């Protein structure tokens, strides 16, 4: 079967201290990092044999912390990009690390979800990192959280990036915070698809690919249908994809996060993003 695996180990340490993130400037213990590395090694061992079983996989590393600070994630990306049965490997990153290692990646299979955090890095440095990916022919999108204090930095970043690099904005919805019409128009002038991210979509009982073709894998091997749904549907290493996969209607009232609602067939967002669905890269920019 063809499956998408979102992988999240125990890593929660990050080198940034964004005020909207609960994991900012968290430092994992040596024991936690060792456990995270061991978990990833077990996951990689499982992935290696899936091609012989007839499976094709796309893998998205989206830890709570910054994955690329740690060698084991970089090495995993290099190895995964060379596997015949891997369609895509994507990572969520703040691009704060050196990128010389990316020369070992297969550009046909790798993509980056690059998050820009104003106040944590200089725009010039972030743009330079983006341009290194760009010049290496590596696919990526750039995004930022649409807090009001970031409006001007996001607009400035848009002007600094090449026109064919997509810059998306995550609507900031915490504490019932909502935008004015004028603010929506401003953000939509930067991100032409921003309005897709504003709603919390009615999802209860509706069809979703999560749990049948898309799985959220925790470091322990436990699998959930969706990262928001706390119900565990099985264990990757015990049950395998065949044992886990079944049609499951959404059990959540609403879905408002990109990595969730893109898997709702009724929204047909695969038509908009095509092969760039995982890293949030639309096929066409207006």
Mean pLDDT of the chain: 94
pLDDT for 120: 78
Containing H/E element for 140?
strand 139-145
Q: How far apart are CA 126 and CA 103, in angstroms?
A: 19
Taken in order of first residue, the domains within the chain and their CATH numbers are: 2-276 (3.20.20)
CA-angle at 149, arms to 148 and 154, nearest 5°: 85
* pLDDT for res 22: 55
pTM confidence score: 0.94
Query: Which helix (H) or strand (E) element contains residue 157?
Result: helix 151-160
Measured CA to CA, the distance from residue 85 to residue 47 in angstroms comes to 9
pLDDT at 173: 84
- Contact (Cβ atoms closer than 8 angstroms) between residue 236 and residue 217: yes
Per-residue pLDDT reduced to its tens digit, 199-225: 999 999 999 999 999 999 999 999 999
225 SS3 class: coil
For residues 261 and 212, is the Cβ–Cβ distance under 8 A?
no
Q: If DSSP codes are grouped into helix, strand and coil, which group holds residue 101?
A: helix
Give the pLDDT of residue 19.
65
């Amino acid at each position: 079967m063809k499956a998408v695996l979102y992988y999240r180990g125990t890593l929660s340490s990050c080198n940034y201290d964004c005020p909207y993130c609960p994991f900012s400037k968290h430092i994992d213990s040596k024991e936690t990092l060792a456990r995270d590395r061991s978990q990833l090694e077990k996951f990689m061992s499982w992935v290696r044999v899936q091609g012989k079983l007839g499976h094709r996989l796309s893998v998205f590393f989206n830890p709570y912390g910054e994955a690329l600070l740690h060698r084991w994630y970089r090495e995993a990306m290099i190895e995964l990009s060379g596997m015949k049965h891997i369609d895509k490997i994507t990572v969520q990153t703040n691009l704060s690390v050196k990128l010389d290692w990316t020369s070992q990646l297969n550009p046909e299979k790798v993509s980056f979800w690059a998050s820009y955090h104003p106040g944590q890095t200089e725009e010039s440095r972030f743009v330079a990192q983006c341009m290194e990916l760009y010049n290496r022919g590596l696919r990526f999108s750039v995004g930022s959280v649409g807090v009001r204090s970031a409006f001007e930095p996001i607009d400035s970043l848009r002007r600094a990036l090449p026109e064919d690099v997509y810059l998306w904005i995550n609507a900031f919805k915490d504490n019932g915070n909502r935008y004015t019409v004028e603010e929506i128009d401003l953000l939509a002038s930067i991100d032409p698809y921003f309005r897709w991210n504003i709603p919390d979509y009615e999802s209860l009982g509706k069809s979703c690919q999560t749990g049948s073709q898309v799985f959220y894998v925790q470091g322990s091997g436990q699998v959930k249908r969706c990262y928001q749904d706390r119900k565990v549907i099985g264990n990757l290493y015990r049950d395998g994809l065949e044992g886990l996969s079944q049609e499951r209607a959404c059990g959540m009232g609403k879905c408002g996060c990109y990595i969730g609602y893109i898997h709702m067939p009724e929204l047909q967002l695969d038509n908009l993003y095509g092969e760039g669905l995982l890293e949030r890269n639309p096929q066409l920019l207006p």
